[in-house]
Structures are given as structure tokens and as C-alpha cells.
Chain A
Amino acid sequence: MRELFGSTIERLLADGSDSETVLASEGGVWSAALWEAIEDSGFTLAAAPESLGGADAGWADLYVIARAAGRHAVPLPLAEALLGNWLLGRCGLEPQSTGLSFAASAQLSLTAGRVSGVVRDVPWGRHVQSVVAVADTKGVGPSLVVLARERAQAVEQSLNVAGEPRDALFFTDATVVDSAPLPNGLSSEVLQIGGALIRSAQIAGALSRLLDMTSEYASQRNQFGKPIGAFQAIQQQLAVFAEQTAAANSAAEAAFVQSDRALNWFAIAVAKVCAADAATQGANIAHAVHGAIGFTQEYALQLYTRRLWAWRGEFGCATRWSQQIGAQVCAVGGEGFWPLLTQDCLSGASA
């Protein structure tokens, strides 16, 4: 399924998610034609169970879709819809076939099918029809709720550094579209963890794209009578860029494969840390090699570097995830370190 997903999404996004589309989206335009094409292709439902109209794809196969979303800087909640519908499926709820996002940061209380509170940092919140979030239900524990954006009392608009909407939605006694208790084995942090998972793949995809662009630029741009890529100073920097890109891709893929049927907290934490660190170094080198042209709005480089700067911090920055890993490592001590690393799973922390 992965090969089919990969080739189909690449074709679709190569045509549909060009620089103009991405730039227009930063100006506030919802890329309706591209979203329609994505929905028609069925990708937003890929993770939903077959019985509910999806493809029942696991994260190992979904990896290429999330990665492609980053590789093409898709200005739409494609990766978000994957996660949202995956979680709805896990909770036995109907997938949402129209614009769907999720909120990892939620203070919501659910009573008798009505919800009050706020969800923050919702990707594309102002544009989507529905938002998945975890709400508290008194005496029952956490529930997954589907919120209708139009029932929000207020929307507080916010943009990340790449100009992507990250909005807050306020609800007062609003009827939920759907809800179900979170099943056993799913932590109330599931959307934060899942968010880190999809962002790690998007970073890996964007880095791969940037590496291609930067290597190509270095072999075309001439200074001192030869391509700048012929200078060792540039070659050594691009080698580091390639290593970091490889590390981010390797870490992200490992996280997706190891999370195929159940999110693997450790692998995801590792992926977010490595992808975020790689994003920092990759964006830095891409700009250094491109020189002034890369600093212009017109040149496409910034579409990717600015997204790396945004995505590396979303759903937990590298330091936050590192501290959580570090606390668990220190808890098991020096002798426990290697066994823990080789079992690829930290106790009590699966999602």
C-alpha cells in the first residue's frame, strides 16, 4: 500500500501544491481546489477503518503521505486529517470526510453531549469543519470529542512563523458532533504524541526537498569561475546537511513503522528530537549556501525553511521531548540505559 500511496500523493501534490498555492495560502486563502483533489483521492480517510469508509492503513504506510505533505509544504491539514481520522477510528467513531483538524492543547469539559472550554493551536482551525480533541468528562475520564467549528463562540486567530493558521476556538455549552470515551491504552496525551509523529515526517520531507534544492543550486551557481559546489567549504556543509536529512528521515520512518498499530511513545519522542535538531541545522545550511537569493520572498527556499522553523517547535520542542526521555533514562540508571534503548519502548509511556 505504501508504494501506491507514495506515487499517488507525490503526483497529486507535485501538480497541486506549487509555490503560488502555498504563498496564496499564507495570504489567507483556503486552497479549495487542492483540498478537493486530496479528499477525492481518499487520503484524508486513509487511516479510518474499512467498515467506516477508510483504507485501514497503519502508520507504516501513512508515513509517505505525511512526509509528502512536508516535501510539498502542503498548505492544508492533510497530515492533521490522517491523525484525526485515525483516532476517530480507534474510538469507534465515524471518520470526518470534510476538513478535519485536531487540538493537542484542550481545556474542555463534556457534560451530556455538550462541551465548554477552549482548544488552542488548532492547525487550520479557522478553515476546517471539525476539530478532534480530548475533553474531560466528570467522573468518567477523558473522552474524544468532535467539535464543529461553526459552533465555536469565538475564534482567536494566530499564525505560526510560516503563516499557517494555529487558532484558538472557544466553546460554551456547544453540542458536540460526536464523542466517545478514550479506549484503554490511549493516553489523554495521544494528540500531542500523534502531532509530534506527523510533524517529524513533515520535517523529514521538507528537509529532503531543501537538500535537493540546495545541492542543485550549489552546482549551478558560479563564483570565482566555478560552481560554488566545487569548493570544499560548501561541500562539507552540504555533507552535514545530507547527514542530518538522513537522520531525520530515518528517525521519522522508524517512528511511523514502530507505531504502525499503536503509537510508540519512545520512537516518536526520538523522532521529534532528531527531526527538530536536523531542521535547525538544515535550514541554517540551506540559507548559507543560497546566499541572498534564498532570503527573498520570491524564491521558494523560504517556503520550506520557515516551515521547518515552525514545525520543529509544534507539539513539543526538542527540549521538551528530550527532557521527558532524559527523565526516564535517569530513572533506570546507567545499567538500565542500554536495555531500554534496545527494547525501543519506555514503560508506562505508550500511547
Chain B
Amino acid sequence: MAINEFTYSRIPAEAEALRAEVRQFLAQTLTDYPPALRAQSWMGFDAGFSKALGAKGWLGMALPKEYGGTQAGFFARYVISEELLAAGAPVSAHWIADRQSGPLINKFGTHAQRDRYLPAICRGESYFCIGMSEPGSGSDLASIRSTAVRDGEGWRVNGQKVWTTNAHHSHYMIALLRTGDKQTARHEGMSQFIVDLRLPGITVRPIRDLAGGEHFNEVFFDDVYLADDALIGSEGKGWEQVTAELAFERSGPERFLSSMALIKTMIDAIGTQPDALQAAEIGRLTARLATLRNMSLAVTAQLAEGAHPAWAASCVKDLGNAFEQEIPELAQRLLDIEPRQRGGSDHAQVLAYLTQMAPSFSLRGGTREILRGIIARGLGLR
């Protein structure tokens, strides 16, 4: 670990040049999209919108041209991503495929696998979910029990995944499954598979969240047969592959922009003449957000260079989650406006939604405690 993993990195001019175009596109496309829906951030689903982004060349920006990507690079992708999130655009359909499944397939997949999956990801037509957690394995991911066992030319899968975001909308899951002996070392004997969710033996059941939304699911595998080429990367190397993937998952702007819709309605509700407390708190959140963005861009620079900034990514996610979780509390402190599930102002509705969603921010993608454990290891304490 080193603090210098956060070396200041400016967005290159050619990537920055995309910003105006994407803003204009969003202003036109989302004209009547209300704040209460924008508040869903990267949980908002709209397949048509994802296809439109694909048509613009704004998906698969870090993927090679031969597979349908634009090869525009990590910073170009960053500009597009943060503008989508800042606007509260409905990006959930393609989000995980674009963020991590595509890069994972590109990195570990065979030529045939890239050919098969990447072009549709880049068009915004193929959606992925991540099959990691299981009923008995949350933070302790290495304890997963779902198995893939050799069966002739292919694999036979049994077990269950849970809390799988978007499984009910996705075409594929990248599943982490046990392929080896449990007696071996803790982090061995796991492999990743691309599972076509339409295969026989797979059941996907949405789980309603506390606000009544359906974003995550439980997924059952009952003697599911996978062809040999469902294996992605190397057999037994699932843990290393997952770890590499997590730096993409944990350092991006979606780890601190989840409450963006509320920041905007809160500023508008405060108005142009803030009192001393309001001015101080709005200023402080602005400063924190500006710094989180710089830190996230520093990690992006490392990812672009092919490094594995797991430690730095954990810092961004933990700080970012604390920030986005605090926004609804801040809104309660600065304004005497009650949250409203129905009725009330835009601000009251956005506040109601994000107050309820906030606990998930530091659970999804790795809990606060797990991230801090990773950071402590980087400090030489574990």
C-alpha cells in the first residue's frame, strides 16, 4: 500500500471532449424523466436506453474494436459513466456487463468467447449479473458451496446464489463456483463460468427490498448442464480472477454518486440564500465529492495501465459509500422537509427513496468491514 497510489490524474482532453456531447444527449433523451426515477441511479432499468447508448458508441469503450468496442479507453468510459450517473440515467441494464463482465471476458476469455459475448455487450443488448454471494457465503466469499463438476465434455452445476442484482433482467451470469476439492487451500478450487440464464434447471426469483423494489434475486441451479466453453479463464483460478475484477467494481463513480439526485433537490430546496449551516454543509459535501472524484480518477489511471489497485479501490469505495449514505441524513439535518413515498415535492420523494436505499450502499459490492480489512492488510496489519 502507498498513499501515492492516488497520484493526481487529469482526464485527457480527448476524453473530456465527450462530456458536452453526452450532456446534450442526456438533456434530450431524459427531458421528462422525473427526479424520483433519477434517484434510482444505476438501479434504473431501461433496455431501450442502453441500446441507444450502444448505438452512440458509449458502451464497451475500454474493449477492442474487433469485438465491437471503441477502444476509446478508461478515461473516456469514465466521463460517460459519471455523466450518466450524475444525470440519474437508467443504466442498470448494461451496467455490470459494461463495467466488469466485458473487461473480464476480454482479459480472461478465449478468442471465441470474446467473439460470442462482447459485440452484444457493446451494442447494449446483452446483460450480465454477478453470481458471487450464496445463502451461507456473504462477506466470506471463499466459503461458497455451489459446485460445477466435470460431466463428459461439460460441467454439471448445482447450488444457489443470492442477492444477485438484476438476475431477473440478465441474459448471463458470471458465476463463481467450486470446481475443486474443499480440502485444498481456502482460495483454491474455485472457477468462473458464464452461465446462460435461459438454460434448463435455472430458477430466478426476485427478492423484494425494504422499499418494495425488485433489484436483487435468488438464483437456483438444479443439475444445470454447461458446455465446456462456459468456463471463463483458468480452472481453479476463480479467486484471482474475481479479485482482479473487484478493482473495477469498487473504484468507479457509482460508489459515491448514488445520492446525486438528492444532492440536487436538496440544493434547490435550500435555495440561493443558504443559512450558515446549510452553506457549510453543502460546501463540505462538495469538497468531499471533488476529492472522491480525484481519488477515483487516480485509480482509473492505474487500471488503464494494467495495474491491480485493490487497496486504493477499497479506499474509494469505503469513503464513497460513507459519503453517499450521509446525504439523506444531511438532508434531514439541513431542511425541515419530511420524506414522502407518495405525494409531496420531488425532494420529499427522492429523500424517501434514498433514505431507504442508503443502507445497501455499504453492503453491495463488499461491506464496509471487509473493505477496511483489505485496507488494514495493505497497512501490514494482517
Contact = CB atoms under 8 A, between A and B. Distances in A.
Interface in B315-329: 315, 318-319
A235 B283 contact: no
Contact of B279 (A211, A327, A334, A338): A327
Contacts of B284: 273, 277, 318, 322, 325-326
A247 B279 contact: no
Given A235-B382, A242-B379, A249-B3, A330 B291 contact: no
B49 interface: no
Contact of A322 (B8, B260, B266, B279): B279
A interface, over-half SS: helix
A257 B3 contact: no
A341 interface: yes
B295 A324 contact: no
Contacts of B315: 242-243, 246
B298 interface: yes
A15 interface: no
Interface in A227-284: 229-230, 232, 234-236, 238-240, 242-243, 245-247, 249-251, 253-254, 257, 266-267, 269-270, 273-274, 277
Nearest to B263: A337
A245 B283 contact: no
A321 B315 CA distance: 25
A299 B296 CA distance: 36
A331 interface: yes
Given A270-B287, A326-B281, A330-B273, A242 B375 contact: yes
A246 B295 contact: yes
A186 interface: no
- Among A230, A234, A246, the one with the most B-chain Cβ atoms within 10 Å of its Cβ is A246
Interface string B263-287: 1111110111110101111111011
B375 A243 contact: yes
A251 B283 contact: no
> How many A residues touch the partner, as a band?
35 or more
- Among B282, B291, B372, the one with the most A-chain Cβ atoms within 10 Å of its Cβ is B291
Contacts of B291: 247, 250-251, 254, 270, 274
Contact of A249 (B6, B283, B371): B6
Contacts of A208: 3
Interface in B214-268: 260, 263-268
Contact of A325 (B1, B82, B266, B287): B287
Contact of A243 (B270, B274, B318): B318
B205 to A, nearest CB: 35
A155 interface: no
B139 interface: no
B290 A341 contact: yes
B204 to A, nearest CB: 35
A341 B289 contact: yes
B376 interface: yes
A319 interface: yes
A342 interface: yes
Given A236-B372, A253-B7, A334-B265, A341 B273 contact: no
B288 interface: yes
A219 interface: yes
A217 B81 CA distance: 41
A239 B371 CA distance: 9
A167 B172 CA distance: 68
Contacts of B271: 330
Contact of A250 (B8, B267, B376, B378): B8
B373 interface: yes
A229 B371 CA distance: 16
B151 interface: no
A162 to B, nearest CB: 22
Given A250-B6, A330-B267, A218 B381 contact: yes
Contact of A236 (B7, B273, B283, B376): B376
Given A215-B380, A270-B290, A333-B272, 16 more contacts: A215-B379, A219-B381, A238-B381, A253-B8, A254-B291, A254-B294, A269-B283, A273-B284, A277-B284, A322-B280, A323-B279, A326-B281, A329-B282, A330-B270, A330-B282, A334-B268
11 contacts: A230-B381, A239-B375, A243-B318, A246-B3, A246-B295, A322-B279, A323-B279, A324-B279, A330-B273, A334-B263, A334-B267
Interface of A: 208, 211, 215, 218-219, 229-230, 232, 234-236, 238-240, 242-243, 245-247, 249-251, 253-254, 257, 266-267, 269-270, 273-274, 277, 318-319, 321-327, 329-331, 333-335, 337-338, 341-342, 344
Interface of B: 1, 3-8, 10, 19, 82, 86, 260, 263-268, 270-274, 276, 278-284, 286-295, 298, 312, 315, 318-319, 369, 371-373, 375-376, 378-382
- A-B interface, 3 closest residue pairs, ranked by CB to CB distance from nearest: A326-B283, A322-B283, A334-B264
